[in-house]
Amino acid sequence: MIATNTIREFEQQLREALADWPLYQEQDHVKARFLPAPSYPRTDTPVWVGYCQDPLPETGLKPFYPQTFFESSMRPHVLNLNVDPVEETCYLLEIAINRKQRGKGHGEELYQVVEQFAYNIGCREVRQTPSGGYGDRSRRDYLIDRGWEPFGDIEVRKVLK
């Protein structure tokens, strides 16, 4: 059962999970909001939770602004999650590390942040539809090597203990 039920609690839980991640800084942005679903009772409403590194002033970017079209060397670290309280599942929608920080283990640690956050709020699993990768390695293979399991044709999931 999802133990968190207010926006502030979701934000606080993510900040706590990020606290030991070496690239996290207090001025970085953590936001949450209930997803529009007027037919849901409040306790069953899915929630979006996100983290965004405070963008460097020279980029001119705003936190949580869609980053896809920007040079990845200027792109801030980003994490976007949807929490489904009915399925007790955390969907990892986006995870990104600034290009200058890749290859140093920070991505691995950020996946651990996601798993810890999901576990702390009462999710049973984390799911992702992986795309891309690093070098010649697909993200799907990377996650399977880390103990995630294939789920359906394209998703992978990490069952939380």
Residue 60 backbone class (left: φ over 0; alpha: ψ -120 to 50; beta: rest)? left
Report whether 120 contacts 112 (CB < 8 A): no
**CATH for 7-159 (1.10.510.10, 3.40.630.30, 3.30.365.10, 3.90.120.10):** 3.40.630.30
Q: Which of 46-50, 101-105, 124-128, 135-139 has the lowest mean pLDDT?
A: 135-139
Q: 46-94: per-residue pLDDT in tens?
A: 898 989 887 655 555 555 554 444 455 566 788 999 999 989 999 999 8
Tokens at 154, concatenated: 């394209």
Q: Looking at residue 43, what is its pLDDT?
A: 56
